[in-house]
């Protein structure tokens, strides 16, 4: 419960730290955050999955169904690759991110999301029972 509260505070502070420049059509968003990509993306994805579940009684099977925006650098809201599309399906690599995120499982019983590194290996995972990403041990 404390971890969820801390995560809520981090999300609130992140929202407050967004900086806008220019007109609303040309808005640039930058998150002033020094946390690793994994700790930013995966808990947010898990929260988005939970919100989706509460509305649909099943978890989203493709990224575009969640409708959130993510980039690991400053971006304009209309920039490509900061929102998943239908073509991304269950695999999405947001702009300037090190990992490709894959929804491995999503149904009424739970979800599993993997973070896959450049070598194609699963490095981290999060599911509906975890509050933070877990490092995956390499398979021999």
pLDDT digits over 11-38, tens only?
Answer: 433 333 333 333 344 454 545 456 799 9
Residue 77: CA atoms inside 13 Å, Cβ hemisphere, count? 12
Residue 2 has pLDDT above 60, yes or no: no
The pLDDT, as a whole number, for residue 11 is 41
- Contacting residues for 19 by C-beta, under 8 A, at least 6 apart: 28, 29, 30, 32
For 77-122, write each residue's pLDDT tens digit.
Answer: 888 889 999 999 999 999 889 999 999 999 999 999 999 999 999 9
Overall residue count recorded for the chain in this entry: 140
Between CA 33 and CA 73, with CA 94 as vertex, the angle to 5 degrees is 35
Picking from 108, 138, 111, the residue whose alpha carbon sits closest to that of residue 45 is 111
Domain ranges in the chain? 2-135
The pLDDT, as a whole number, for residue 34 is 64
């Amino acid at each position: 419960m404390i971890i969820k509260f801390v995560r809520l505070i981090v999300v609130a502070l992140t929202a407050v730290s967004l900086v806008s420049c220019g007109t609303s059509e040309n808005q640039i968003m930058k998150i002033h955050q020094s946390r690793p990509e994994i700790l930013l993306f995966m808990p947010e994805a898990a929260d988005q999955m939970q919100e989706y579940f509460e509305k649909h009684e099943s978890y989203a099977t493709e990224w575009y169904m969640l409708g959130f925006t993510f980039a690991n650098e400053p971006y304009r809201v209309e920039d490509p690759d900061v929102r998943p599309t239908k073509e991304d399906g269950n695999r999405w690599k947001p702009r300037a991110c090190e990992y490709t995120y894959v929804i491995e499982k999503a149904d009424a019983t739970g979800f599993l999301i993997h973070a896959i590194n450049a070598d194609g290996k699963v490095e981290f995972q999060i599911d509906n029972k975890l509050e933070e990403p877990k490092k995956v041990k390499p398979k021999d």
